[in-house]
Amino acid sequence: MNKFINHPFLDEESLKSLPVTYRLIRQMNTADVGELYNGARYGSSRRHFSRQFMMQGPYKPLSEVLYQQYIQQPAMKKEDDETTDPLTVK
């Protein structure tokens, strides 16, 4: 749980030489700070760079059509594919 704290690592003398915002510094659980990537990971595969990001549940259903297309030809467009919209199925 996040909470206000009083000067976790700064004494009053140090605070005098800092902007007053440092008096309002907040303490959080490190594992809750997503940007630090220290929470639970779903894997640690070097090949998939799993150590560098964490698992997050999708917000919405994923399109299997899109994934099937991507898996078939990840970096190539079909020659007869005039559309640039990957969600458009011909």
Partner 1 sequence: MILVLGYDQHELGTDPVIDWLLYYGADFVKVSMNDLLSGKIAYEIDVVAGDIYINGRSMQQEVSVIWYRRFYGEEMNLRIEKNMPFAKQLRAEIQYEMHNIVEHLFYIMKGKKWLPYYERTKVNKLVMLEMANRAGLTVPASRVLTSKKELNTFYAQCGESLITKPVKGSDYYEDGKNTYFIFTAPVTRQFIDSLPDHFFPTLFQERAKAEYEIRVFFLDGECFATAVLNANKSREVDRKLNNSKSETHFVPYKLPEEMEIKVRAFMKEAKLNIGCLDIIRDETGRYVFLEVNPLGQYLSESAKCNYYLEKNIAEWLIKHDLQYEQVH
Task: State which of positions 11-50 bind partner 1 (CB under 8 A).
Answer: 16-31, 33, 35-36, 38, 49
Name the maximum alpha-carbon separation found in the chain. 71
> Of 61, 72, 75, 79, which one interacts with partner 1 (CB under 8 A)?
75
Total residues binding partner 1 (CB under 8 A): 36
CB 7, CB 27: distance < 8 Å: no
- Give the span between the Cα atoms of 82 and 90, in whole angstroms: 10
Q: Are 2 and 26 in contact (CB under 8 A)?
A: yes
List residues near partner 1 by CB under 8 A: 2, 5, 8-9, 16-31, 33, 35-36, 38, 49, 52-53, 59-60, 70, 74-77, 84, 86
